Structure 1
Amino acid sequence: MGRGKGNPTGWIARVSTGQISFEMDGVSLSNSRQAATLAAHKPCSSTKFVLWS
């Protein structure tokens, strides 16, 4: 208890308060954009796409 959880592996992203981060894998870019656009209309929020290569 309290000794840490080991070394982090992979990418770490800082997400500010009031923001939600989603990661989509195995889906085409056009399908993911369409899904996020449809989902953004529900709570009236804006979306921003970042493409990792």
Structure 2
Amino acid sequence: MGRGKGNPTGWIARVSMGKISFEMDGVSLSNVRQATTLAAHKPCSSTKFVLWS
């Protein structure tokens, strides 16, 4: 019997405390900006966009 770890299925990135990271694919940039702007107003948080090419 193993310890239940299984095979790794993806990558993990370190995110500092107080920061949340989202990666979106298959959605237009304007829709992403609109959705995150609306969502950021709820908890009064700031958003920063990084576009990967």
Place the TM-score, normalised by the shorter chain, in its bin: 0.7 to 0.9
Q: Which has the higher relative contact order, 1 or 2, with Cα contacts under 8 A spaced 6 or more apart?
A: 1
Distance 1:7 1:42 in 2: 38
Percent of paired sites with the same residue: 92
Distance 2:4 2:50 in 1: 31
Instruction: Tell me the C-alpha RMSD between the 2 structures.
Output: 2.4
TM-score by structure 1 length? 0.74
Distance 2:44 2:26 in 1: 26
2:34 counterpart SS class? helix
Q: Which runs of 5+ in 1 are unaligned?
A: none
**Residues matched between the structures, number:** 53
TM-score by structure 2 length? 0.74
Q: Which runs of 5+ in 2 are unaligned?
A: none
User: Which stretch shifts more, 6-15 or 27-36?
Assistant: 6-15
1:31 counterpart SS class? helix
Q: Which has the larger radius of gyration?
A: 2
Cα distance, 1:8 vs structure 2: 7.3
Render the CA deviation track for 1:5-53: whole Å, top value 9, x for unaligned.
7997976533100110011110000000000000000000000000001
